[in-house]
Structure 1
Amino acid sequence: MRSAALAAGLVGVLALTACSGGSGDEDGSPSAPSTSTAPSAGTSSPAVTGASADIQGSWITTAGGRIVALVINGKQAGSFETGGAMCNGTAGAENGMQMIRLTCADGSKTRTTGTVDSVDGTTLKVTWSGKTGQETYTKAEGGKLPSGLPTALPR
């Protein structure tokens, strides 16, 4: 029952992220995302461009019996773990690699810097710095959880 409630909550999060979009112009046309890659004056950070279209969207995995959602929208990224950390940050190209950089509200360091190893239409592989290592995510389409995730057993 508990995992069913968690899954239901996660579906709500996915539905909200799937519906979020640009505010658009007054004429109803969507606004174009910024593509500026110039770093701010006086910074030594690498220039970050938006994440590739291949990694955009909502991705799900399980880790330690918990569902982990990774959502990438333009340059923005977020990670949500059932019963755990909520993190936000950026996703984009840095030095020829697709990188994900997150900061977690609870100070967790589990998923803070990730490198995209590979991506296809349904699978995203990310290697996180630290003990998390590589995780394989499944694409969540239309705000729905992908098949194969654990569910509550009937009583």
Structure 2
Amino acid sequence: MRTATVAAGLVGALAALTALTGCSGGGGDGDGTAASATPSATTASASPSGSAAVTGAAGKLQGSWITTSGGKIVALVITGKKAGLFVTGRKAWCQGAAGEESGMQMIHLTCPDGNKDRVTGMVDAVDAKGMTVTWSGKTGKETYTKAEGGKLPSALPTKAKQ
């Protein structure tokens, strides 16, 4: 029963992140009301290190990605240049940009609660089923599984060994 409750909550979180990042199943533009009701995010801008700006996410980064870390579920949603991240048990989600930067696929997030665990991530590998990201914060390397059609994957990965 507890797993079903967590799963239902995560599906709701994915829906909220999808709305936040502007992704919709109907392909419409949306009116932007979901994004305007939430804190402002840093979008395609220069990274903190001063390197080139994020220019757009490659097709393989697009979608909803799930992992577990410290007993919590982490959902990362990437749509176009926008990225959103939700961790169960935290009240706020993080927003930002994802895309190519200096020849690498990068993710830059800002969290309204000041959390720095997943601020800058470099995509090490990505395919149709999974993605590995190395975060500059204390999180380190994480492996995500792609969630298709708003459904949770059959098995959630755990934090990758470093």
Q: What is the TM-score when the length of structure 2 is the normalising length?
A: 0.74
Structure with greater strand percent: 1
Identify if the C-alpha distance between structure 1 residues 149 and 98 changes in structure 2 by more than 3 Å, giving closer, same or farther: closer
- The structural deviation recorded for 1:116 is 0.2
Which one has the largest radius of gyration? 1
Provide the aligned length of Structure 1 versus Structure 2: 134
User: How big is each residue's C-alpha offset from its partner over 1:41-85, in whole Å with a ceiling of 9 and x where there is no partner?
Assistant: xxx661321110001000000001100000000000010000025
CA contact (8 A) 2:65 2:144 kept: yes
Structure 2 unaligned spans of 5+: 31-44, 158-162
Q: Cα RMSD between the aligned structures?
A: 2.4
Q: What is the TM-score when the length of structure 1 is the normalising length?
A: 0.77
Structure 1 unaligned spans of 5+: 25-38, 151-155
Aligned to 2:61: 55
User: Any residues of structure 2 matched to 1:2-81 within 5 Å, and which?
Assistant: 2-16=2-16, 17=18, 19=24, 21-23=27-29, 46-81=52-87
CA contact (8 A) 1:15 1:142 kept: no
Aligned to 1:83: 89
| Secondary structure, counterpart of 1:14 in structure 2 | helix
Question: After TM superposition, where is structure 1 displaced by more than 4 Å over at least 4 residues in a row?
Answer: none
Q: Percent identity?
A: 68
- The structural deviation recorded for 1:12 is 1.8
| Secondary structure, counterpart of 2:60 in structure 1 | helix
Matched letter for residue 96 of structure 1: G
Q: Which moved more, 1:47-56 or 1:139-148?
A: 47-56
CA contact (8 A) 2:81 2:98 kept: yes
Matched letter for residue 14 of structure 1: L
